[in-house]
Chains A and B, each alone.
Chain A
Amino acid sequence: MTGSLRIDFHLLDRQIVDLAGAPVGKVDDVELTEDGFRMVALLSGTDVLGRRMGGWLGRLLVRLAGRWGPPEPLRIPWQFVSNVDSAVHLSVRREVLDEPKLEKWLRDNVISRIPGAGDASQ
């Protein structure tokens, strides 16, 4: 792992990509130990982002995130992070992580219904 890291500058709002370079999400917040001294995991999700942003915009995001039941933020333990440069690179493929609910719902109910959705890359 790289040496000195700044949580706000190097991590927050940076793109997370998996082992294959596929986007996983943004670092919307960072989980620390209870005493606040050590970094434990990256957190990603609209609910997480909304809580961090605060204000009317943040509350709106939290409400949107909760529309389809309790939100399940994506939690990526620090051990999965291999490198931080212009993006946060993980040492695992995204299939190992939970799939965001909205993506799953839209995939199953909208996109999959359109012919050609599963075709090889275009």
Chain B
Amino acid sequence: MRASELLGRTAYAADGTPLGRVIDLLTQPDTDGQPRITHVVVSQRVRARLYGYEREGLQRPWVVEKLVSLVHRGITEVPIDQIHWSTEET
């Protein structure tokens, strides 16, 4: 499976409500060092990569920040085990 097959898909909660489109996949190193996907970043609106959303330690020009926050409303990180990829329960 490739990451591009997950990105852009619609993710659903356990009860079938749509959470939004997948715009990123967060990983943490596993016990053997291999990165494991822990969270899925979903967005209700359009995706844009320019900033990397809520990364720490970013400074941004005020005007661009305001524009970006307009675009980036409705972004959440959801633990991967809570994601369902279709409306049917797996």
Contacts and interface: CB of A to CB of B under 8 A. Distances in A.
A8 interface: yes
Interface string A1-40: 1011111110010000000000000000111111111111
A38 B30 contact: yes
Interface in A29-60: 29-40, 43, 51-52
B2 A52 contact: yes
Nearest to A53: B4
A105 interface: no
Given A1-B29, A6-B25, A8-B49, A30 B2 contact: yes
Contact of B24 (A6, A38, A40): A6
Interface residues of A, number: 25
A2 to B, nearest CB: 8
Contact of A33 (B1, B28, B33, B80): B1
Contact of B27 (A5, A12, A29, A52): A5
B49 A4 contact: no
Interface in B11-50: 23-30, 33-37, 41, 49
Contact of B37 (A34, A39, A43): A39
